[in-house]
Amino acid sequence: MNVFSRGIRNAFRNSIRTFSIVLILGLIIGLSLAMLVARQAVSQKISSVESSVGNTVSISPAGVRGFSGGGNPLTATQIAPIQKLSHVTSVDESLSDRLTSSTTNLQSSIDAGSLGRRFAGNDGGQNIAQSGGFSGGNEGSATATFSPPVIVLGTTNPSDLSNTEGGGTFKLTSGKVFASTSTDNVAVIGSSLATKNNLQVGSTFTAYSTTITVLGIFDAGNTFSNSQLIMPLVTLQTLSGQAGDITSAVATVDSITNVDSVTTAIKNQLGSAADVTNAATQAQNTIAPLKNIQTISLYSLIGAVIAGAVIILLTMIMIVRERRREIGVIKAIGASNINIMVQFMTEAITLTFLGSIIGIGLGVVAGNPITKLLVTNSANSSAPTGAGRFGRAFGGITNSITSVHGTVGWSIILYGLGGALVIAILGSALASYFIAKVRPAEVMRAE
Amino acid sequence: MLQITNLKKVFKTAGDDVVAVNDVSLSVADGQFASIIGKSGSGKSTLLSLLGALDKPTSGHIIVGDKDITKMHDRALIQYRGRKIGFVFQSYNLVPNLTALENVMLPMEYAKLAKSERIKRATHLLDQVGLSADQHSRKPGKLSGGQQQRVAIARALANKPSLILADEPTGNLDSQTGTMIFKLLHELSRTENTTIVVVTHDLSISGKTDVTFTLRDGKLVKK
């Protein structure tokens, strides 16, 4: 038998006390782990939301969204200074237009359906006239010959669909994309549009009375984007007679933390000429409840560890006081302070280790339910407001933040055991001081 | 040889200083069985704790063999207590959750003896003090007072000390058991050539030791 085995055996000298302390420590360590699980799950969700939102700022002419609203386009001269703002790494410019039967030989790959005819009616007949074959502007009298226009996007970044109406992830299925500064009469077309018009890489079609060569075919994963075509910005500006005009720009910022400041700088730069929005601000508002949980769980974790340390501290002080004479005796027969401290520390570690086994069990069982409860309550109390493109997107994010799942992995278990060790060491510290203060002569005075 | 010269111990209290041991000088030869008697509060136990290096004197010298223990550092005192001194207390002071054998092995563990050696010697000592084999594995709560004191004596002998200090070793025992314990200590002083100093107020015991010192109010009044 040595100091360690005596320490372990001493932990069981008073079975009722041992049971009580282990149970309380188990609850505390279980709470700590649940908070740790919540914090980890919430942190992962925050990172996931932040990375999915991206660090971009959208710029569009004031009052215009896609093909709705009204106003004047922005110009390259207005956008150029934005490139020079600090934290802005790049600016992608684009111009959108609609090709009708009078400007292209392409046929839209989208069937008008009742919605298309209804929208055409709400457009006051403009599209109908352009597309041909449709007479009358009222939804009730719309005919089945109406064909939606083909949307063409002129851009300096053909691989990015994030700022288009349809969105989606650009995936080139054949051919290649054009250079950002290209002025060639080329296009990359959506897969649905290509199929509808029997186009392949190298095929040609007519737009704005000009022959355009298909450079590549892409798949965006949705029908709307796959019915579009993408051309070099300058080419579209020239062919459509909108030289220098820009209907949308996307500024990329070096870090998500700088998105707000860049947004403000762009607003100051463009004034009332543009609507400047970013996804990050709304994302931050949406994930604010999660950040609150992060803070709450951190404080709870620290509080629980301190509570555990205090319980062990008081227990060990009580035990040292009880065994004062015994400490005096073993000092009298040759034990050093270190011998005795190690023995008592082993006793404290044994108690906290047993507590941590119960705590880990509780953490495994209660970690996920507590995390879900915290997240659901916080998310419900601060749901975001507003609509628009970001609003719709963040409706989904708001729903997704409540789908946080906390799991107890090996790292959490190791944290639990590490925390228990910290609790035991902190809790034994003052007891060790009292042990050192016990003088062996006290064993004689107690006689 | 145990030699004490002008030993003094003063306890500071809120009201006044209490002189527990006042200018005591005495010597005990190797292998002698000495007793210190005196009334309660005469300073017997304080003198014993000074001899055992459990406490430090205010002034004076205690020379054990050729070393002055009053000049030793704390670490050296721990070694001195562990290897040169054996203690026997009135209420035995055995560790309650250790068996008789483990209690006797404890000082040897602190003296860094090998485990096999500790078991062998502890078993021999328990046999020597008259504890039967089945009692070796009993905890103190399962032993009588006399048996516990025998275990305490075996523990005191564990590291072959040159000096055994016993504070009222028969104080908690009936007269018959007390006599047996006294005889055991007396025998050990002869067989082990160990100096034994016993503090007692049992005059029947003090009369049978090799030398008796009487303390009154901290002063040595009779040798």
Domain at B162, CATH number = 3.40.50.300
| Residue A206 touches partner B, C-beta closer than 8 Å | no
| Residue B97 touches partner A, C-beta closer than 8 Å | yes
Please give the average per-residue pLDDT across A29-40, as a whole number: 86
Residue B122 pLDDT: 95
Q: Decide if B175 is inside a domain.
A: yes
| Residue B91 touches partner A, C-beta closer than 8 Å | yes
Between CA A74 and CA A242 the distance in angstroms is 11
> Which of B45, B87, B102 lies at the smallest CB-CB distance from A332?
B87
Residue A20 scores a pLDDT above 70: yes
Residues 6+ apart with CB under 8 A from B50: B7, B9, B21, B56, B57, B62
> Which of B55, B83, B98 lies at the smallest CB-CB distance from A334?
B83
Rg (CA), chain A: 35
**Beta-bridge partners for B197:** B34, B165
Look at the alpha carbons of A72, A73, A76, A80 in this order and tell me if their dihedral is positive or negative: positive
> Which of A13, A330, A339 lies at the smallest CB-CB distance from B97?
A13
The most confident of the ranges A21-30, A220-229, A320-329, B113-122 is: B113-122
In chain A, residues with a C-beta closer than 8 Å to the C-beta of B58 are none
Q: 3-class SS at B180?
A: helix
**Residue of A80, A86, A49, A61 lying closest to A253 (CA atoms):** A86
Q: Decide if B14 is inside a domain.
A: no
Other CB atoms within 10 A of residue A393 CB: 17
Please give the average per-residue pLDDT across A362-382, as a whole number: 78
Position A444 confidence tier, pLDDT thresholds 50, 70, 90: low
Q: Which domain holds residue B142?
A: 31-55+72-220
Least confident of A190-194, A378-382, B208-212: A378-382
Q: Using N-to-C axis directions, what is the helix angle for A15-53 and A410-437, rounded to 10°?
A: 140
| Residue A338 touches partner B, C-beta closer than 8 Å | no
Q: Decide if B153 is inside a domain.
A: yes
**Residue of B46, B51, B116 lying closest to B84 (CA atoms):** B51
Between CA B87 and CA B84 the distance in angstroms is 10
Please give the average per-residue pLDDT across A97-123, as a whole number: 77
| The two structure tokens encoding residue B126 | 């328990």
| Residue B119 touches partner A, C-beta closer than 8 Å | no
Q: Decide if B20 is inside a domain.
A: no
Q: Decide if B6 is inside a domain.
A: no
In chain A, residues with a C-beta closer than 8 Å to the C-beta of B79 are 334
In chain A, residues with a C-beta closer than 8 Å to the C-beta of B95 are 326, 329-330
Residue at A234: amino acid letter: V
Q: How many domains does chain B have?
A: 1
Position A387 confidence tier, pLDDT thresholds 50, 70, 90: very low
Residue A368 pLDDT: 84
Residue A119 pLDDT: 67
pLDDT tens digits for A132-164?
Answer: 333 334 444 445 566 788 889 999 888 877 666
pLDDT tens digits for A43-78?
Answer: 888 887 777 666 788 888 887 776 777 778 888 888
> What strand order describes the sheet that includes B211-216?
B85-88, B163-167, B195-200, B33-38, B211-216, B219-222
| Residue A329 touches partner B, C-beta closer than 8 Å | yes
Residue A140 pLDDT: 44
Nearest chain A residue to B40, by CA: A447
Is the CB of B105 less than 8 angstroms away from the CB of A330? no
Residue A277 scores a pLDDT above 80: yes
Question: Under a CB-based contact definition with an 8 Å cutoff, are residues A349 and A418 in contact?
Answer: no
Q: Decide if B128 is inside a domain.
A: yes
Residue A244 scores a pLDDT above 60: yes
| Residue B18 touches partner A, C-beta closer than 8 Å | no
The residue ranking higher by pLDDT, A417 or B29, is B29
Q: Decide if B42 is inside a domain.
A: yes
Domain ranges of chain A: 3-51+285-446, 56-110+148-278, 115-146
Between CA B44 and CA B33 the distance in angstroms is 16
pLDDT tens digits for B55-102?
Answer: 899 999 999 888 899 999 888 888 888 888 999 988 889 999 999 999
Please give the average per-residue pLDDT across A226-248, as a whole number: 89
> What are the mean pLDDT values of chain B's consecutive 10-residue runs (223 residues total)?
92 84 92 89 89 91 89 88 89 91 94 93 92 94 92 91 89 81 82 87 78 91 70
Between CA A14 and CA A313 the distance in angstroms is 17
Q: Decide if B3 is inside a domain.
A: no
